[in-house]
Chain A
Amino acid sequence: MLDLRLTRAARPAVQLRRLLVAAASAGTGFLLLSCLGYALNHPEAAGSGALRLAWCGVPAAATVYLALAVARTDPGTRPRPGLSAIGLGPARLMVISALVTALSTLLGSLVALSLFLYLRGDLTKMPFDGAAASFLAAGKSLPLAATLTLLAVVPGVATGAVALALRPRDPQPVARPQRRYLPFVRQAGGPAVEGRTGEAEAGGAEGAPAGEDTPRARAGATGARPAPAPGTDETDGGAPAGLPWAVALVATGLTAQAYAGRTPPTPAFTFTAVPSGAGLFLLGWLLTAVGLILATPGLTHLCGRLLQCARPGALRLLAGRGLMAEATRIGRPLGILCAVTAAGYAMTTLYDAPARPFGPLSALGALVVAGCAFATLLTAAVETRQCRTETTAALLRLGAPVTVLRGAAALRAFALLAFFAPLTLAIAALAAFPLTR
């Protein structure tokens, strides 16, 4: 009951975010049910059905990621120190978050089921003059167990992910060892272990894995902190690691695509019929996307660093350092959005004139994925704003004009756009190049 009341008594913006989760879940549920319908209608084409089901993994993952981001920004489940004494402690709040997520995703699944049943013509007649009969399986009876299983996938995974991400942990910041990929750095006496408070506080799903909680890491948290070299300004707690690996992944992916596009003249493949030679090609795309997602936090940090270099004034200083501090939180959703945009750009290039246009299901899937990516980025921005409430209040008390704060936010957004839009387009063009040649 308590979580229902907490759910109901929220501001419109929060309800809108939950409705977005429900909508994404509805879209994914509808796609999954369409796969089921296709499989019922074409029992002989098992491979094609499985392929369709595999493609549904992308919107499902996007939906779960959105649900996670929304659960993190939910003000109803913020830690309430005063209410911990009456039982609203961290564990209970985690349960409430998970229940709210389950509620919104289940609502979406129900909508998907109703729409699917409605379109099947059980209630009235076939829609689109029977054009969509191929995936609605109108004549067949729908197997109950399969339907429920498919519809339970997104709520189940989303609830589990939220519970895992928001599980109660000690408030003490967990020290994460700075990952160094060059072994000689450690031997040279460099600071191999570095406490990164900002990251640990930001930690949601990306909290330190269990394997990293070594005694050495703990010693780094409590023991002597590595002092910066005298005479140099310490400007940041540390850049997000992994940029070299990410760049290597992107390069490998692009190379794989180029290689795959070189050997056979691949026919333009569709979602539902992947030719046999396209495996390497898909692998290349996957590697590129993963590399892009991994690279973005580091690139966001770099973007902030560039913004505040060379004798900055107050505006550039606040904008650049803010971007550097929030690189991980903003960078991950931004990377996903970049990957989705690049994929969309490449697809539109491929499907340009001769091939057939998007079917209704591909369009729905693309809409769900793109919408989720965009909504996740906006939610991450909201989360950042929530985390910086105290800093903003302190700045206002100093008498910082509101125009400076807004200008800093606008500058940040502009810098990200100016940095990542050409990058995304370049990667998309490179990815599409072997196929369009």
Chain B
Amino acid sequence: MEAPPDNDVLWARSLHFTHPDGSPGLSGVTLAVREGEILAVSGPRGSGKTTLLRCLSGLEPVAEGEIWFNSTPLHTLGPANRERLRRDRFCWIGPEPALVPELNAWENAALPLMLRGTSRRRAKTTALEWLERLDVGEAARKLPHRLIQSERQRVSIARALAPAPTVLFADEPTAPLHRADRGHVLRTLTSAARSHGITVLLATNDPETAALADRTVNLLDGRPVRTVHLPEVPDAEGRAACSISV
């Protein structure tokens, strides 16, 4: 086994993944993520973006291929060690803000810190600072069901950023939002990541979102491609043949 270059924080080689039901997931993805960069993983729905992020973050065990995180071979770790790594080094933002419904906003944001053993006072201070920075400081004491969707998503971003992770996995973080909220949320996310040197993997199928990243990797049917230009669809195949006037 060959260790990856030093400046890559996350490195995957010829990653293959098949879903438990046998449907193909990834076929031969090789990818290197440098420290502190924002890498967009782009591609249409079903191209394997989420699967790639889940594999890289250790949520799914990899059958074939290698994943290295800072010279730790992720593909050889057991579930417990991957869970610890996820807790200590990684953070995840999903398309839905999966907040714990019975905790209010700042408690939600402070939860990962408290799970790592930080004292309550310090966790609260950090969480409140991040909520302030993401423009949801007003809502810090409200329960999630009293917030609107974009506020909830910003709380979940604060929750991901508060423990200062090494790598942040963002799986279509702006999918359920309108365009105005989308831009706001993305800008806060990217600027916070840049100012704190957090590496971000951003899965998106929106070219505008991908434009905010340093680099873009295009996926198509589970493998990286240079361009995603598909052949033009001829308009309404067989329309003439089926037309009743023929």
Task: Tell me the complex Cα distance, A404–B100, Å.
Answer: 15
Q: Is the CB of B100 within 8 A of A225?
A: no
Which residue on chain A has the smallest CB distance to residue B114?
A314
Task: Tell me the complex Cα distance, A337–B107, Å.
Answer: 34
A209 in contact (CB, < 8 A): no
Task: Tell me the complex Cα distance, A197–B143, Å.
Answer: 11
Cβ 8 A contact of B83, one of A197, A235, A317, A401: A401
Q: In residues 110-129 of chain B, which contact A (Cβ within 8 Å)?
A: 111-112, 114-115, 120
Q: Which residues of A contact B88 (CB under 8 A)?
A: 399
Task: Tell me the complex Cα distance, A322–B107, Å.
Answer: 13
A213 in contact (CB, < 8 A): no
**1/0 per position for A392-427, CB-CB distance to B under 8 A?**
011111111110100000000000000000000000
Say whether, besides A398-B112, A399-B83, A233 and B141 are in contact (CB < 8 Å): yes
Q: Which residues of B contact A391 (CB under 8 A)?
A: 98, 100-101
Dominant secondary structure of chain A at its interface with chain B: helix
Task: Tell me the complex Cα distance, A39–B5, Å.
Answer: 90
Task: Tell me the complex Cα distance, A316–B103, Å.
Answer: 12
B84 in contact (CB, < 8 A): yes
B11 in contact (CB, < 8 A): no
How near does chain A come to B197, taking the closest CB pair, in angstroms? 21
Say whether, besides A237-B145, A397-B59, A313 and B103 are in contact (CB < 8 Å): no
A168 in contact (CB, < 8 A): no
Q: Is the CB of B115 within 8 A of A317?
A: no
Q: Which residues of B contact A324 (CB under 8 A)?
A: 102
A87 in contact (CB, < 8 A): no
Cβ 8 A contact of A237, one of B103, B141, B143: B143
**1/0 per position for A189-228, CB-CB distance to B under 8 A?**
0000000011000000000000000000000000001001
A232 in contact (CB, < 8 A): yes
Q: Is the CB of A394 within 8 A of B145?
A: no
Most interface-central of A236, A397, A400 (chain B CB within 10 A): A397
Say whether, besides A228-B141, A234-B142, A399-B87, A311 and B98 are in contact (CB < 8 Å): no
A321 in contact (CB, < 8 A): yes
B183 in contact (CB, < 8 A): no
Q: Is the CB of A225 within 8 A of B146?
A: yes
B92 in contact (CB, < 8 A): yes
Q: Is the CB of A400 within 8 A of B99?
A: no
B104 in contact (CB, < 8 A): yes
Which residue on chain B has the smallest CB distance to residue A231?
B141
Q: Is the CB of B102 within 8 A of A236?
A: yes
B28 in contact (CB, < 8 A): no
Q: Which residues of B contact A44 (CB under 8 A)?
A: none
Q: Is the CB of A400 within 8 A of B98?
A: no
A21 in contact (CB, < 8 A): no
Q: Which residues of A contact B92 (CB under 8 A)?
A: 397-398
Task: Tell me the complex Cα distance, A154–B156, Å.
Answer: 49
Task: Tell me the complex Cα distance, A390–B112, Å.
Answer: 17
How near does chain A come to B92, taking the closest CB pair, in angstroms? 5
Say whether, besides A312-B120, A321-B102, A325-B101, A398 and B83 are in contact (CB < 8 Å): no
Which residue on chain B has the smallest CB distance to residue A311?
B120
Q: Is the CB of A198 within 8 A of B145?
A: yes
How near does chain B come to A220, taking the closest CB pair, in angstroms? 13
What would 10 more interface pairs be, CB under 8 Å, given A395-B100, A399-B84?
A198-B102, A313-B114, A313-B120, A325-B102, A394-B98, A396-B83, A397-B59, A398-B86, A399-B90, A400-B87
What are 30 A-B contacts with C-beta separation under 8 Å?
A: A197-B145, A198-B102, A225-B146, A232-B141, A233-B104, A234-B142, A235-B143, A312-B120, A314-B111, A317-B111, A318-B100, A321-B100, A391-B101, A396-B83, A397-B59, A397-B94, A398-B91, A398-B92, A398-B111, A398-B112, A398-B115, A398-B159, A399-B83, A399-B84, A399-B87, A399-B88, A399-B112, A401-B83, A401-B87, A402-B83
Q: Which 7 A-B pairs have the closest CB atoms?
A: A399-B87, A394-B98, A314-B114, A321-B102, A325-B102, A399-B86, A197-B145
